[in-house]
Structure 1
Amino acid sequence: RMSKKNIMSVIVPVFEVEEGEASLNYGLGTTTGNLDVALEKFSRLLPKLVSLAAEEKALRLMAVEIERTRRRVNALEHVLIPSFQETIRYITMKLDEQERATLSRLMRIKEIVRSH
């Protein structure tokens, strides 16, 4: 039986092996006892194999998501943030220029008012 689980926003599969009585589809007289032993060991190993496969799939899915996130972080660090910082510097410079221009105009107006 398969279900899904959310791990850190990554949907990963969860498999459960339903254990039941296995029917023997071979002739007991024509096979050795080794086949019975092998089937028993396989039936004990199967849930572990399924669990391992599910964990491996989850790790692969999470690795893909981590790589995608790493690319986004790099884009932020190397493209967007420097661009925003440059924009902030430009806006700050323009505001400082406007403030100086306004101050100059006010001083000029005061000078004109005093001279009259």
Structure 2
Amino acid sequence: MSVRVPQLAKEIAGDIVCYGFSTTSGELDVALRALERAFDSLIELAEKEKQAQLLATELQMTRRRVNVLEHVVIPDIQETIKFIYSKLGEAERDNISRLMKIADIIRA
């Protein structure tokens, strides 16, 4: 199974610098750059978290399928194989007894 992971991206519309340079300090520029990096990290974290969630869901579904195979399908197939072997053995014994009767009739 293939797990599709959504790709997140940010879209900035307009100018990010929307304040006057004369009334604010230079630390605001540093803070805005740090905020932009924080948003990038937050988007990356959201992608990773969603990826982990989707993989966990897929793993749980795969585990269920494996349990069905181990506890239902494989035992049913094994029972069918045993039944077929018993029928083949019974048919072989019938053929041997039939051949022995025919051999007795031919000898007599």
Q: After TM superposition, is the score higher than 0.5?
A: yes
Deviations 1:25-76 (A, max 9, x none): x5674x7777555433211111111001001001100110010000000000
Residue of 95, 112, 115 corresponding to 2:105: 112
TM-score (structure 2 length as normaliser): 0.83
Aligned to 1:47: 40
Number of equivalenced pairs = 106
Structure of higher RCO (CA pairs closer than 8 Å, 6+ residues apart) = 2
Aligned to 1:98: 91
Tell me whether 1:66 sits opposite 2:59 in the alignment.
yes
Residue of 17, 26, 40 corresponding to 1:23: 17
SS in structure 2 of the partner of residue 15 of structure 1:
coil
Query: Alignment identity in percent?
Result: 50
Aligned to 1:12: 5
TM-score (structure 1 length as normaliser): 0.78
Deviations 1:59-101 (A, max 9, x none): 1001100100000000000000000000000110010000000
Q: Which amino acid aligns with 2:107?
A: R
